[in-house]
Chain A
Amino acid sequence: MDDLRNDLRSIFERQQSGLRELRGTRETVMKRALVRKDEPLGGRLNIAAGIAAVIIAALVIATFAYVRGRSVGHEGPLPGASSARVATPLVKPPSIPPRTAILDIDLVDLSTGWVLFTTCVQPMTGACHYSVVATTDGGASWSKPVQVGGQFDYANGDAPRTVHFVDKTDGFVYGGGFAFVTHDGGRTWAHLNIQAVFIEFITGRDGIVWAATYPCAKGTSCPYEIRSSVDGGVTWSSPHEVPAILPPLQGVAFAASGLVVGTFTDLMITLDGGATWRVIKSACATAVSPEQIATSDGLELWLLCTDGAKNETLYVSENAGASWSQRTLPLPSGPKSGLSGATGLLSPSAGTALLNPGRGVMVSHDGGTTWAHAGPADVQFGAIRLCSAGDGWAIDDQHYIWATDDGGDHWTRVAGLQIASP
């Protein structure tokens, strides 16, 4: 018992190390608190809160009545649902035009999300266009498509392929050579105003968003750059050079200002907006490069390595990359993605990871030691996105959106974006 007590005290002491010195804090806190002590409890704030509560209650009742009304005579919950905990299991008729392909999805909560799709499908009959549709009711209804940018040649590999939203208003659509930004939830889009020739990734939510770019012309060599924005991409920090010649393939944001970046050879981590970096030796063997990285806290790192022939190996570090342990992948063939822009490895919280093996989702809650199948076993998931430790969406190869509210253990089909065959 004493050992446990001492060990727990040590752990708590270490967690409390961020507090450092508390001298003087007591006086400051007491002084500030007592300044407000005579503010009336039933002041305008409470009146406003009461009015807000009444309005919210009315909206909840109206929404409930609306949903109940819509359910009558409409398609109800679809078969194959594995959980009833996610709301709005309704499916609307197709809202995306025929001859389109879904590229990516993203969400900021289980109600609010976006789908990026393109007209760039074979056989090509003209220029490619890229559009976004949005939902604010969990997929029950969708906005009209909004075209992002102009037209692209079908052979242009730098065309948009990813949609990423920071919050309900600020978001990005980008590809290798183009990036667009919206500040009104996707109603209008403009070119992202940063100096870059190539866009490697844009990641991060709410507090901070990161952009990794290449500033030099094709054929010239210079360092890649990382910059950050704390206002949803309206303004950006000065660029910081990435201490690697190779391109930053993937970035995973964590905590308030942390970012882990994976290159072909190493991982790098910054905690100060990109000003300083620590290089982490990759666990991937020579001639095998990182394919996916994931982390929820910057301390526990997940690394999926590939040799280019879909022979994949999974490593986990519990000490920010100081050492790595190999884990057994749940499937011999390793994960693979069915849709462009898909994510095959995610870690929503410490100890937990999701793998996209091609059919359903594999989930581990013990640091990758054991895995369990989650979601429908006969459905191929493409893009999987999480907006918090619990909430996320996936889109399957039939263009249905699935939702989870428990970190990936259960998935419910909540919306359809059916596309007619050419």
Chain B
Amino acid sequence: MVHVVSAEAGRSLHERAVAGDEVAFEALVGPLVEPGIRLAYSMLGDRTEAEDAVQEAVTRAWRKLGQLRAGMPVRPWFLAIVVNQCRNIRRTRWFRFVRTSDNFRFDRGVEPGVERIDLARALARRSETDRQALFLYFYLDLPVDEVGVALGISAAAAKGRIYRACHRLRPDLAEEDL
């Protein structure tokens, strides 16, 4: 589902994009729009807001492309921009009052089982950063080091955060299971 653009494969694209090649930039960042929207939606709970956030993140990515160091993977770098953009949106007072739906939907066809309701409730009580780490790791399938880059923390800190969040959801989980 998620297309990985490695540093090796994307190097020439990167160089061309930095030089102002829109086609190269689109090839570099375009595949990351969908995971970006999914990540933004998980944080904002509103599709329009999520798309706006990613649109802004793409613009910022274009402007900051020169800051992407050689050898640095594009995906976590771009997702970090998305996370920051979503955080900016969430800080606004308007968002605090209006967008508190937490993705609520009356979709009876996909009603989760009781055990998943418990897990969903436990997940909802985790901090936002914990939920972001779990979403990136378990849903977008980012490796731990990329989770760290996306969240602006070290790989070790990312692994610790994921483990602690999992442990609180399922206390019998061992760290080596990650």
CB closest residue in chain B, given A207: B98
A312-331 vs B: 1/0 string, CB under 8 Å? 00000011100000000000
Contact of A256 among B63, B101, B139 (CB under 8 A): B101
Interface size on A, residues (CB 8 A): 53
- Inter-chain pairs besides A4-B166, A4-B173, 18 sampled, C-beta below 8 Å: A1-B173, A7-B115, A11-B119, A15-B41, A15-B42, A17-B110, A26-B31, A30-B30, A32-B55, A33-B59, A33-B62, A34-B22, A34-B25, A109-B93, A206-B98, A207-B98, A256-B98, A350-B121
B-to-A contact residues, CB < 8 Å? 22, 25-26, 29-31, 33-34, 37-38, 41-42, 45-47, 50-51, 54-59, 62-63, 93-94, 96-107, 110-112, 115-117, 119-121, 123-125, 134-135, 138-139, 166, 169-170, 173, 177-178
Q: If A19-B47, A37-B62, A296-B100 touch, does A271 touch B121 (CB 8 Å cutoff)?
A: no
> B125 to chain A: which residues have CB within 8 Å?
350-351, 365
Contacts of A34 in B (CB 8 A): 22, 25-26, 58-59, 62
Q: Given the complex, which residues of A lie within 8 Å of B99, measured CB to CB?
A: 256
The docked-state distance in angstroms from the alpha carbon of A109 to that of B94 is 12
> Hey, what's the 0/1 contact readout for A1-42 against B, CB within 8 Å counting as 1?
100110111111111111100100110111011101100010
B-binding residues in A (CB < 8 A): 1, 4-5, 7-19, 22, 25-26, 28-30, 32-34, 36-37, 41, 109, 205-207, 254-256, 258, 271, 278, 296-300, 318-320, 350-351, 365, 367, 387-389
Q: Which residues of A contact B29 (CB under 8 A)?
A: 30
Chain A residue, CB-CB nearest to B60: A33
CB-CB under 8 A from A9, the residues of chain B are: 138-139
Q: Which of A10, A29, A109, A387 contacts B37 (CB 8 A)?
A: A29
Chain B: minimal CB distance from A49 (Å): 12
Knowing A8-B138, A10-B112, say if A297 contacts B102 (CB, 8 Å): yes
B97 partner residues in chain A, CB cutoff 8 A: 205-207, 387-388
On chain B, the residues within 8 Å of A37 by CB distance are 22, 59, 62-63
Inter-chain contact B59/A350, CB cutoff 8 Å: no
Q: Is the interface of B mostly helix, strand, loop or mixed?
A: helix
- 30 A–B pairs (Cβ distance < 8 Å), ordered by A: A4-B169, A11-B112, A14-B107, A14-B112, A15-B103, A16-B41, A18-B41, A18-B45, A19-B50, A22-B37, A25-B34, A28-B51, A29-B33, A29-B37, A29-B58, A30-B58, A33-B55, A33-B58, A34-B62, A37-B63, A109-B93, A207-B98, A256-B46, A256-B101, A258-B101, A296-B100, A297-B100, A318-B117, A319-B117, A387-B97
Docked CA distance A387–B57 (Å): 30
- Give the distance to chain A from B97, nearest Cβ to Cβ, in Å: 4
Q: Which 9 A-B pairs have the closest CB atoms?
A: A33-B58, A255-B101, A1-B177, A206-B97, A207-B98, A12-B139, A26-B33, A15-B103, A37-B62
Option from B34, B93, B105, B123 in Cβ contact (under 8 Å) with A11: B123
Are B34 and A26 neighbours in the complex by a CB distance under 8 Å?
A: yes
Q: Which residues of B contact A36 (CB under 8 A)?
A: 59
Name A365's closest neighbour in chain B (CB-CB): B125
**Is B102 a contact partner of A19 (Cβ separation < 8 A)?**
no
Interchain nearest-CB distance for A107 vs B (Å): 12
